[in-house]
Amino acid sequence: MKIYTRTGDKGSTSLFDDKRVPKDHIRVESYGTIDELISFLGLAKNYMEDKEIYALIEKIQNKLFTVATNLATEDKSKVIHHIVEEDIKYLEENVDKYMGKIGNPKGFIVPGSGKKSGYLHVCRTICRRAERRIITLSFQEEIDPLVIKYVNRLSDLIYAVARYLEEEEVAVDYKK
């Protein structure tokens, strides 16, 4: 099977429902940023010795394919898999779990005192960018509100796990 189709050579691409749009369309930017997040989480998880965190990241990666599918499909009748409230509850439970493990700290830290936390902080920023792209898309087209909620909560979870994995908490020093 060839992976190239030559149909995108003039700057357009097909959505999952076969509608063609420009490659720089906000919908493509949205699911493309989710794809970037999936890939970067794949890199980050390979630094995790903790099997529970590794499994958590892998579960998130799989769920992000559902997010991407929703974003890459304009005709909602063709969307097979959906984000549900239980998915958001799962994220919230894990945010509470990891923030609780570090005593629910307040204040900003300088991210990345180690590779594990550093990669996850990059994932967090990619997730926030994806959220911004999705919000922009939502002003133009109808987006499942649970997709937006999921991505918002996911960035909180990535932050919580990254902060939990910091080897040393370095508080922001605004005077430096």
CATH number at residue 111: 1.20.1200.10
Q: How many domains does the chain have?
A: 1
User: Please, which pLDDT band fits residue 88 given cuts at 50, 70 and 90?
Assistant: very high
Tell me the residue range of the domain where 73 lies.
13-165
Locus of tokens 């909602």: 76
Query: Is 163 in contact with 102 (CB distance < 8 Å)?
Result: yes
Instruction: Write the single-letter amino acid at 163.
Output: R
Identify whether 4 is part of a domain. no
Query: Is 11 in contact with 23 (CB distance < 8 Å)?
Result: yes
Q: What integer pLDDT is reported at residue 76 of this predicted model?
A: 87
Identify whether 36 is part of a domain. yes
Q: What integer pLDDT is reported at residue 68 of this predicted model?
A: 96
Identify whether 129 is part of a domain. yes
Q: How far is CA 123 from CA 33, 34, 45, in A?
A: 11, 10, 11
Identify whether 172 is part of a domain. no
Q: How far apart are CA 13 and CA 10, in angstroms?
A: 9
Identify whether 171 is part of a domain. no
Q: What integer pLDDT is reported at residue 93 of this predicted model?
A: 98
Identify whether 41 is part of a domain. yes
Identify whether 173 is part of a domain. no
Query: Is 73 in contact with 46 (CB distance < 8 Å)?
Result: no
pTM of the model: 0.92
Identify whether 160 is part of a domain. yes
pLDDT of residue 176 exceeding 80, the answer is: no
